[in-house]
Amino acid sequence: MEKQYLITGGAGLVGTSVPFGLKPTRKEVDLTNYDQLIGYIRDHKITDIVHCAGKVGGVKSNKQFINDFLVDNLTINANIIKASREVNRATFLLSTCIFPEFAHYPLTEEQIHNGEPHPTNYGYAYAKRMLEVGARSLREQYKVNAKCIIPCNLYGANDNYDMENGHVLPSLIHRCYLSKINNQPFTIWGEGKALREFVFSEDLGRILQMIHVDEHSTPDMMIVSPGKEWSIREAVEIIISEMGFSGELVFDKTKPEGIMRKPTNNTLFTTYFPDFKFTDLKTGLKKTIEDFLTKYPNVRK
Q: What's the first-to-final CA gap in the chain, in angstroms?
A: 42
Handedness of CA 23, 25, 31, 37 (dihedral sign): negative
Q: Where would I find the H helices in the chain? A: 34-43, 59-64, 66-83, 122-137, 168-181, 201-212, 232-243, 267-272, 281-295
Examine residue 297 and say whether the peptide bond preceding it is cis (omega within 30 degrees of 0).
Answer: yes
Specify burial of residue 174 (Cβ count, 10 A radius: 0-12, 13-18, 19+). buried
Which residues partner with 117 through β-bridges? 100
Catalytic one among 124, 155, 161, 177? 124
253-256, Cβ contacts within 8 angstroms, sequence gap of 24 or more: 253/190, 253/191, 255/189, 255/190, 256/59, 256/189, 256/190
Q: What are phi and psi of 288, to 5 degrees?
A: -65, -45
Q: Which stretches of 3-154 are DSSP H helices? A: 34-43, 59-64, 66-83, 122-137
Cβ-count burial of 132 within 10 angstroms (0-12 exposed, 13-18 middle, 19+ buried)? buried
122 is catalytic: no
Q: CA–CA distance from 46 to each of 149, 209, 249, 259 (Å)?
A: 20, 16, 50, 40
Active site residues: 124
